[in-house]
Amino acid sequence: MSKIFTEEYLQQLSNKVNQTDEFIKEAKYASFIVGFHDSTSNKKSWVEFLDGRVNKFGIDDTVEPHFTFVGESESWEQLADKEPLNRLVRRSKLTVTGDKRLCMKNWKMLWLFGQLIKEV
Amino acid sequence: MAYTSVKGIRTYYEKKGNGKPLILIHGASQDTLSWRFNIDFFSNHFTVYAIDLPGHGKSYPLQSGPVQKTEDYALFVIDFIKTLNLDKPLLMGHSMAGGICLSVAAKEPKLISGIVVVDGAAYTVEKVVSYNNDVLDLASINPTDWFECNFRTLCGSNTSLERIEEIAFDARRCSPEVAIGDLRAYTSFDLSTNIKNITCPVLLIEGSEDWSCPPEAVELTYEKLNCPKDYVLLNNVGHFPHTEQPDYFNEEVLKGLARLNLL
């Protein structure tokens, strides 16, 4: 199971994200919830951004994300390892459900988030 | 630096050097600036013409709007050659413009002396470059960020962070409408029917770590060409060899041109 579906990891990632200047600059005023869904294991997690910072996160079904990245376990492992988010989406290894427009309007911020996943 | 009118479109180009004409054509979401590390070098051997395609850099867009097909860019390049009355120029194009060069060579085989295809191929459709309509629709919402993130991750493992920043900056110089038109042109290009028309020498040069136009796509193009040809794979280089590792690239192109008797 990819680390992105564990609370311990999401806590570490949130700390990293909220302390990374490049991300903070790109995420200014961003407020939305992004979901992650492993279609192989059916594991889910989510991260809420409020005013550009990670406000909450979880691994439950109680929150409805604005949009969700969906893919098989292998794709999530690749994202955590070295594959950039843009390559996985381009190859349709990860797809976007929900508000695609909101997702793409925040594309560089989300891409940076994907890069930080590899660093934690 | 000069402007000319190509079928009524004000077109910007940079000219330097003496000798046979060499036309440099930039890739998607870029402009003449992408050849900044190559123009001086090749001007020692050729009269270099680096052009801004319609809607890019300092060139006006076509009246019909952003170009959506590689073949339409090829027609523009043919008109550029005829407008400047250039005598059998050599063409060098990067990525999408590699397809433009191949398309020109197939449409007007006697107009040019040879082509250099840099990280480009004769087939850049979905099964080769992974773009489907759903992904293109996503990219069309925010082409600028889409291109920048792609450019950042398409550089090879030996490319300096400073150079990656330059390449990423290039992507943001292009208008979103033109950038997504380029992406649609690149991802719909298929020369399988007309590749047999190409008779001039073709040099294919490719970064080994390019995952946008992967070596398999270039090898397939090489196999299908029935003309004098050469294929060079540049180690530890990504999608932008002329910018990532210009010294390596320039020298290897020159060697390839010599092998094809194009110097």
pLDDT digits (tens, 9 = 90+) for A58-83: 999 889 999 999 999 999 999 999 99
Decide if A104 and B145 are in contact by the 8 Å CB cutoff.
yes
B257 confidence band (pLDDT: 50, 70, 90): very high
Q: How many Cα atoms within 13 Å fall on the side-chain side of residue B242?
A: 28
Q: What is the pLDDT of residue B131?
A: 87
For residue B183, the tally of other CB atoms under 10 A from its CB is 23
- Contact residues, chain B, for A91 at CB < 8 Å: 130
Mean per-residue pLDDT for B17-21? 97
Residue of A nearest to B129 (CA): A91
Q: Are B57 and B25 in contact (CB under 8 A)?
A: no
Q: What is the predicted pLDDT for the residue at B128?
A: 79
pLDDT at residue A1 greater than cutoff 80: no
Average of per-residue pLDDT across A3-28: 96
d(CA B169, nearest CA chain A) in Å: 14
CB-facing half-sphere around the CA of B45: CA atoms within 13 A: 17
Rounded to an integer, what is the distance from CA B46 to the centroid of its chain?
Answer: 18
Compute the distance between CA of residue B47 and CA of residue B43 in angstroms, rounded to an integer: 6
Cα distances (angstroms) measured from residue B223 to each of B26, B105, B185, B253, B254: 25, 17, 23, 20, 22
Contacts of A15 (CB under 8 A, 6+ apart): none
Model confidence band, residue B152 (pLDDT cutoffs 50, 70, 90): very high
**What is the rounded distance in angstroms from the CA atom of residue A52 to the CA atom of residue B254?**
50
CA distances from A67 to A30, A70, A118, B44, B155 (A): 14, 10, 21, 54, 29
Cβ contact A111–B145 (<8 Å)? yes
Q: Averaged over B129-157, what is the pLDDT?
A: 95
Q: What is the value of pTM for the model shown?
A: 0.96
For an interface test with A, the pick among B138, B144, B183, B186 (most A C-beta atoms closer than 10 Å) comes out as B138
Using the predicted structure, report yes or no on whether residue B53 has a pLDDT greater than 90: yes
Whether the ipTM is more than 0.85: the answer is yes
Q: Are B260 and B114 in contact (CB under 8 A)?
A: yes
Region B87-103 average pLDDT: 98
Q: What is the pLDDT of residue A95?
A: 98
A107–B149 C-beta distance less than 8 A = yes
Cβ contact (<8 Å) for A107 and B150? Answer: no
Report pLDDT for A106: 98
Per the CB < 8 Å rule, is A104 touching B146? Answer: yes
Average pLDDT, chain B: 96
Cα distance between residue A37 and residue A61, in whole Å: 11
